Amino acid sequence: MALIERFEHRPLDGTRIHDGVSCGYRWFDIGRRRILQLDTYGSNERAIPGKASQSLQIDEAAARQLKQLIEDAFPGI
């Protein structure tokens, strides 16, 4: 699990689309700090299909950064 504190642009040499998986989400409060947690689940081809694979957490500051990144990547949405 990881709490994202900042986003950094890091160009890749190659690009490809990964296999699709489900992403669960929930939010909770720790004191006055709200956290959004995203959990991805293993594809049907994995040893344990549907098992939680990765968890990412973002707070309000990271959510603002992510919102701006999304607007930059997908103008007009």
Instruction: Write out the H or E segment, with its range, that includes residue 26.
Output: strand 23-30
Instruction: Enumerate residues 6+ apart whose C-beta is below 8 A from 66.
Output: 4, 7, 58
> What CATH number did the domain enclosing 56 receive?
2.30.31
On the question of pLDDT at 16 being above 80, the answer is yes
Domain range enclosing 65: 23-77
CA distance 73 to 54: 23
Q: Per the domain annotation, does 74 fall within a domain? A: yes
pLDDT score of 55: 95
pLDDT digits (tens, 9 = 90+) for 55-70: 999 999 999 999 999 9
Give the end-to-end CA distance of the chain in Å, rounded to a whole number.
Answer: 29
Residue 54 belongs to a domain: yes
Beta bridge partners of 41: 52
